[in-house]
Amino acid sequence: MPELKLIGPFKQLIPMTGLPLKGALADEQLVVLQDAGIIIEGERLKEIGNFQELKAKFNAIQIHELQGDHTCLPGFVDAHTHICFGGTRANDYAMRNSGNTYLEIAKAGGGIWDTVTQTRKVTKTELVKGTIKRANRHLKNGVTTLEVKSGYGLSVAEELKMLYAIKEADEAIPADLITTCLAAHMLPKDYRGSAENYLEEISSKLFPKLKSEKLTNRIDAFVEESAFSTLQIAPYFKKAKEMGFDITVHADQFSTGGSTVAVAFSAVSADHLEVSTDKEIELLANSTVIAIALPGASIGLGCAFTPARKLLDAGGSLAIASDHNPGSAPMGDLLTQAAILGAFEKLSNAEVLAGITVRAAAALKLEDRGKLEEGKLADFSLFHTGNYQEILYNQGNLKPCVVFKRGVKVFDKHK
Ligand code: NIG
Ligand code: FE
């Protein structure tokens, strides 16, 4: 029997329980527990309740009694990142801000292809190191689970290198990394053949490897004029579905089409959606696809935010992720970006917090996290405040002071 730990008291604990997966949320729907405590058993939550009552009820071996006011939230889940890469694209950023568009830079040899070239040049060990460094920074900011995509290899061997690197990084750090294969990020410039040939090669040679090596159960594609069309991607997704993979789509970032494919293939999520119109919003809202807004890409590219308010009002489900990548979203600060999206899109605290916890966990099909209740993973963060509203009000500048992952304290600002 693992020993019991009692942590608390928390002036407020927001368990993010009892919330619907879809639709608008009001702050009144948030459960706010006062003077709460948590009993941890091993890596899971055994009980949540009043701190003094828990102290009397359990003969906890370890008691972490906190001084001052704290608010406790579930560990954040960042459901869309590209933190495994080589090199930098600081020059792309400077060029964009000097008036060149993302697509112009891509055409001139910058953009995704530049990162592919730089990623192919580095060893797997270097990729592991970079991924660990970035994931650990997210962890300090309260992100205890991150999805990480491949997509800068763009050949069977180089995609495998990335996916093995992400796996290795996952094993070396406290945060959980969920891998996704994004071999369909763009048609590699050195590929001798059509987009159809490339996708066929990936699905016939890489997909079976992903299964046999247990590298990932998720297939993503960038559906866009500069990447793959809806027609080109359909047979690829069909094959992926037949093999039992979950589908996720980079959709409606610069032109529409991707969200229609996402709905047609019952994808787990459609991500980006910056240019989705009322038609796409309606389609998504009436489906089981979770919309993922990526405010970090809007901030990085200086373009419109995903129409999050409209999506929620239409009855859709909204998660928020950082899209942390070297090109469009170099910042990599989920809480800051989610708070900013909330201010621009007029989202309630409940909607923003659900978007980076329980709804983000659902987008990754992870039922064991995203909320704090008995049996879930003991993944949570503490903030130095007695009022949860302060967290988004500070727009990312109020960072966690303590982070627990699977029942273990992995970050303490005071130490
Ligand atoms: O999600 N849109 C396509 N892919 C990434 C960008 C990757 C890059 O620019 O390196 C995204 O924004
Ligand atoms: Fe992305």
* Whether residues 166 and 227 fall in one domain: yes
Which residue's CA is the nearest one to ligand 1's atom 8? 327
Whether 103 has a pLDDT exceeding 90, the answer reads no
11 shares its domain with 119: no
pLDDT at 106 > cutoff 90 = no
pLDDT digits (tens, 9 = 90+) for 181-214: 999 999 999 999 999 999 999 999 999 999 999 9
pLDDT-based confidence at residue 79 (cuts at 50, 70, 90): very high
Looking at residue 110, what is its pLDDT? 87
The answer on 231 and 176 residing in a single domain is yes
Q: Does the pTM of the predicted model rise above 0.85?
A: yes
Phi, psi of 46 (to 5 degrees): -95, -40
- Do both 351 and 264 map to the same domain? yes
Q: What is the pLDDT of residue 60?
A: 65
Q: CA 330, CA 90: separation in Å to the nearest integer? A: 9
Whether the per-residue pLDDT at 61 is higher than 80: the answer is no
**Domains contained in the chain, number:** 2
Average pLDDT, the chain: 97
Alpha-helical runs (H) found in 213-333: 230-242, 258-264, 278-285, 295-301, 308-313
Q: Tens digits of per-residue pLDDT, 351-392?
A: 999 999 999 999 999 999 999 999 999 999 999 999 999 999
Domain holding 281, by residue range, is 77-363
* Residue 240 shares a structural domain with residue 284: yes
* Region 63-71 average pLDDT: 94
Q: What is the distance between the alpha carbons of residues 189 and 168, in angstroms, rounded to a whole number?
A: 28
Whether 37 and 164 share a structural domain: no
70 and 139 housed in the same domain? no
Q: What gap in Å lies between CA 264 and CA 288, rounded to an integer?
A: 11
Q: Any residues with Cβ below 6 Å from ligand 1, and which?
A: 82, 111-112, 115, 222, 250, 253, 297, 323, 325-329
CATH number at residue 316: 3.20.20.140
Residue 148 tokens, joined: 């990480």
Residues 215 and 119 in one domain: yes
Closest among 27, 142, 175, 19 to 73, alpha carbons compared: 142
What distance lies between CA 92 and its chain's CA centroid? 24
Phi, psi (rounded to 5 degrees) for 36: -90, 165
**pLDDT of res. 1:** 67
Nearest ligand (C-alpha, residue 154): 1
Same domain assignment for residues 225 and 331: yes
357, 324: one domain: yes
Instruction: Tell which one of 147, 223, 250, 298 to mutate to probe ligand 1, the residue whose CB is within 8 A of the most ligand atoms.
Output: 250
* Tokens standing for residue 129: 């190191």
Residue type, position 362, single letter: A
pLDDT at 295: 98
pLDDT digits over 225-247, tens only?
Answer: 989 999 999 999 999 999 999 99
* pLDDT above 90: residue 36: yes
CB atoms within 10 A of CB 99: 7
Asked if 301 and 392 sit in the same domain, the reply is: no
* Cα–Cα distance measured from residue 272 to residue 295, given in angstroms and rounded to the nearest whole number: 8
Residue 102 has pLDDT above 80, yes or no: no
Residue 273 identity (one-letter amino acid):
L
Average pLDDT over residues 52-71: 91
Distance in Å, CA 394 to ligand 2 centroid: 26
Q: Ligand 1, atom 5: nearest CA belongs to which residue?
A: 328
> Does 50 share its domain with 100?
no
Shortest-distance atom of ligand 1 to CA 227 = 3
Among 371, 374, 373, CA closest to 21: 371
Q: How far is residue 103's CA from residue 330's CA, in Å, rounded to a whole number?
A: 17
**Any idea which ligand is nearest the CA of 93?**
1
